[in-house]
């Protein structure tokens, strides 16, 4: 023990100048088994416990994945365990005061090992009050702006550290292929390539060089939960290994390559094995194939679900055993972990060396993040960082770039001189629901609703507001009829419809985590509202606030303008108004296909060639709006698609160039997209796959030559034995403004 102390008797692990590896081993050697196992356990915060034990019953906890308390144990019990060094992490701590207090308890423990605070900072640290709220991931992905993804992650990290938060449960790099699933808005969409790049930049933005200015990223949920068999979160997933490796694994592998140091396994079972006890996922693939160096954390009580839901473990203790031996490092969350895991070690079923592996990984992150030297955040300076002007401007920019113009028959941009009296109505017209899922209550002065944004951007306009309430399932027919009546007295109508995501009314939402649907229609009287307002004969604009694609076919066919704003965050109302009135030219493109109805599920752009060999009877087989689609107030002309060569070896590359010209009268930004198809191959390949894109700014009349390089990694696929190859033959290059065949210029080259 003396050999691991400095000349002044200070333990080596407290020496900030010592190598992290040596500090970890010194500390690990001083820890009891109970302290080690405690590092592998996470608890919800004390205030969260107190709030929920006063309002929930033990029965309520069984299907609740948002709120918790520990029957038979109080918040004071958890506080005492923290002082004894038996708690490694907390989540659902939402204030700096509580974070600093809990850390002070940990500092009283025998070894003074700091706790690491995790939080669902999905689009900014929005799950805690008084933080910048950016658009959710699906909107960010629709910007196709990788630099913006990186910047938002860096700013989020700064705001988190200002609150003494160190670990975000983001990015969600699942590939969303079912619009019924409530968490589509939390993802970067349906395309593995776009999801991979967005996830990579987000990881880099959060983690930096993993020092005291950074936070730990968590790539999640591993794997396959975004294509559940019935569209509901956590239901079984049955996928071929080919689909898993070609579609769902690439974003996780890219996240590992980017340096992600934590990963969360998925709620679901994958091909009959719960992901939380899936050794193939955690050990064979993650650590064996990809050389992942970080730690794996469970999702909310999902280790317990190995026993009480999946029934592959006879009891809780067996569930803990299965999960740890399959590769799990940290348990979210609960009171029996410490007791049962220590028993499993003392019984010889789990070697203590296996526990040491997990604790090393966790302690390394705590040292690298500087928690031993900086366990607290400064309450005096916290608001110098949070909601600062720079971050607010980024939130506004991101909202502007995330809003997709789906239809415009010449109505937009609006003229305030022409439309002097405007009806504004709909459940999302004047509601903080615009913040999106994973958002806490924010102060009114920090949120701009659509109605507020319209009044800000067009102050001379008489906006007539008819409140439809916040709940689409309980809309008032009287309010609908009042809006229809007033529409006849106005020059223009704006209906702001969509989903309800506010987490404060967990059981009343229609979208978000654990809020899945059996259809994708507008809920309640919203369609009736739109149709009655449009029946006034006055031009009607539909704005959608939603975290999932919605099948608004009637509106698409009958209204002159349709805007998909996703969940645009704190300045969403301003950004929407700026776009409606032409102060900002829309530029976003869909990161996910929008089906006409739920009956088209699965509707993805990168489908196999035979998927529509036999078309649907009666209804079209085409989507309502395709992946990569989005309109502008100007026009872009694509021409002169060129390849620098038409034959290459398997390790060669091709330069692809295209001329894009702004032929309209307004400056704008265009997202140029490159797709590839392997014309003939030993296994079936998608009809097209996104392989590159470029976001370019063009003045009216300006042309630009856009160049891409098609490298071997963009041509690889898995052969019959699931080995990556570049196969000889013809490859078709497609370049254009969307994935729609009608929008694409094509050329071919051959691999010899």
Question: What string of DSSP letters covers 697-737?
Answer: EE-TT-EEEEEEEE-GGGT-EE-TTS-EE--SEEEEEEEES
Helix (H, G, I), strand (E, B) or coil at 673: strand
> Regarding beta strands 269-270 and 729-736, do their DSSP bridges make them parallel or antiparallel, or are they unpaired?
unpaired
Among 503, 497, 680, 513, residue whose Cα is nearest residue 576: 497
Contact present, 591 and 194 (Cβ < 8 Å)? yes
Among 562, 528, 529, residue whose Cα is nearest residue 546: 562
Can you read off the two tokens belonging to residue 223?
Answer: 């794997």
Asked whether the CA dihedral 626, 628, 630, 634 is positive or negative, the reply is negative
Among 164, 153, 82, 167, residue whose Cα is nearest residue 120: 167
Can you read off the two tokens belonging to residue 485?
Answer: 């009546």
Query: Which is catalytic among the residues 145, 299, 431, 678?
Result: 299
Residues in the chain: 752
According to DSSP, the residues that pair with 678 across neighbouring strands are 731
According to DSSP, the residues that pair with 264 across neighbouring strands are 220, 297
CA distances from 564 to 218, 499, 550, 560 (A): 29, 12, 9, 14
Can you read off the two tokens belonging to residue 389?
Answer: 């002007």
Separation of alpha carbons 567 and 135, rounded Å: 6
Active site residue 145: no
Separation of alpha carbons 688 and 676, rounded Å: 5
Asked whether the CA dihedral 595, 121, 298, 515 is positive or negative, the reply is negative
Helix (H, G, I), strand (E, B) or coil at 346: helix
Which phi and psi angles does 316 have, rounded to 5°? Answer: -65, -40
Separation of alpha carbons 126 and 134, rounded Å: 8
Contact present, 333 and 44 (Cβ < 8 Å)? yes
Contact present, 253 and 222 (Cβ < 8 Å)? no
Q: Scanning the structure block, which residue is given the tokens 């205030």? A: 47
Instruction: Kindly list the catalytic residues.
Output: 299
């Amino acid at each position: 023990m003396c050999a691991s102390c400095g000349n002044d008797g200070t333990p080596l692990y407290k020496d900030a100048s010592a190598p992290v590896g040596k500090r970890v081993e010194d500390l690990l050697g001083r820890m009891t088994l109970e302290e080690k196992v405690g590092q592998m356990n996470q608890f919800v915060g004390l205030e969260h416990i107190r709030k929920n034990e006063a309002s929930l019953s033990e029965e309520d906890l069984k299907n609740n994945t948002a709120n918790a308390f520990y029957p038979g144990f109080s918040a004071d019990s958890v506080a005492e365990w923290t002082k004894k060094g038996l708690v490694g992490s907390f989540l659902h701590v939402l204030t700096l005061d509580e974070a600093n207090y809990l850390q002070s308890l940990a500092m009283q423990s025998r070894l003074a090992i700091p706790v690491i605070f995790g939080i669902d900072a999905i689009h900014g640290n929005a799950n805690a009050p008084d933080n910048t709220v950016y658009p959710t991931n699906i909107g960010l992905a629709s910007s196709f702006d990788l630099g913006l993804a990186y910047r938002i992650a860096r700013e989020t990290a700064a705001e988190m550290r200002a609150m003494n938060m160190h670990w975000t449960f983001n990015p969600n790099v699942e590939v969303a292929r079912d619009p019924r699933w409530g968490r589509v808005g939390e993802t970067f969409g349906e395309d593995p390539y776009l999801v991979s790049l967005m996830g990579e930049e987000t990881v880099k933005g959060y983690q930096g060089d993993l020092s005291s200015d950074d936070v730990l990223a968590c790539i999640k949920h591993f794997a396959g939960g975004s294509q559940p068999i019935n569209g509901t979160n956590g239901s079984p997933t049955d996928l071929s290994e080919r689909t898993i490796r070609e579609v769902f694994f690439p974003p996780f592998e890219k996240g590992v390559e980017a340096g992600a140091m934590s990963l969360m396994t998925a709620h679901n079972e994958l091909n009959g094995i719960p992901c939380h006890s899936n050794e193939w996922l955690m050990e064979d693939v993650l650590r064996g194939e990809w050389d992942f160096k970080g730690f794996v954390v469970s999702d909310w009580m999902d280790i317990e679900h190995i026993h009480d839901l999946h029934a592959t473990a006879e009891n809780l203790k067996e569930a803990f055993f299965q999960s740890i031996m399959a590769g799990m490092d940290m348990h979210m969350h609960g009171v029996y972990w410490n007791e049962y895991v220590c028993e499993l070690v003392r019984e010889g079923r789990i070697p203590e060396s296996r526990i040491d592996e997990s604790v090393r990984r966790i302690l390394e992150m705590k040292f690298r993040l500087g928690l031993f030297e900086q366990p607290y955040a400064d309450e005096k300076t916290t608001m110098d960082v949070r909601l600062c002007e720079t971050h607010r401007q980024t939130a506004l920019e991101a909202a502007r770039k995330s809003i997709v113009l789906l239809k415009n028959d010449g109505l937009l941009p609006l003229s305030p001189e022409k439309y002097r009296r405007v009806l504004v109505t709909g459940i999302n017209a004047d509601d903080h629901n615009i913040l999106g899922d994973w958002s806490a209550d924010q102060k009114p002065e920090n949120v701009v609703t659509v109605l507020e944004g319209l009044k800000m951007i067009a102050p001379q306009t008489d906006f007539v507001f008819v409140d439809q309430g916040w709940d689409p399932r309980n809309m008032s027919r009287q309010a609908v009829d009042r809006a229809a009546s007033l529409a006849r007295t106005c020059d223009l109508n704006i209906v702001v419809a969509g989903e309800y995501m506010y987490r404060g009314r967990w059981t009343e939402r229609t979208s978000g985590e654990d809020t899945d649907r059996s259809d994708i229609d507008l809920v309640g009287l919203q369609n009736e509202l739109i149709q009655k307002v449009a029946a006034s004969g006055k031009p009607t604009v539909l704005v959608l606030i939603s975290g999932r694609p919605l099948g608004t076919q009637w509106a698409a066919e009958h209204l002159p303008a349709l805007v998909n704003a996703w969940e645009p965050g704190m300045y969403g109302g301003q950004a929407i108004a700026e776009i409606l009135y032409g102060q900002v030219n829309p530029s976003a493109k869909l990161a996910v296909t929008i089906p006409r109805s739920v009956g088209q599920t699965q509707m993805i752009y990168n489908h196999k060639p035979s998927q529509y060999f036999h078309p649907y009877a009666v209804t079209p087989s085409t989507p309502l709006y395709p992946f990569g689609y989005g309109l502008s107030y100007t026009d872009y002309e694509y021409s002169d698609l060129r390849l620098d060569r038409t034959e290459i070896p398997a390790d060669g590359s091709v330069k692809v160039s295209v001329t894009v010209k702004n032929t309209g009268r307004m400056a704008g930004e265009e997202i140029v997209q490159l797709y590839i198809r392997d014309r003939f191959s030993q296994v079936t390949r998608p009809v097209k796959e996104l392989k590159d894109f470029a976001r370019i700014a063009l003045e009216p009349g300006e042309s630009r030559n856009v160049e891409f390089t098609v490298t071997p990694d963009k041509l690889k696929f898995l052969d019959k034995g699931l080995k990556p190859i570049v196969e000889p033959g013809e490859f078709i290059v497609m370049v254009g403004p969307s994935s729609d065949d009608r929008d694409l210029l094509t050329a071919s080259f051959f691999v010899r």
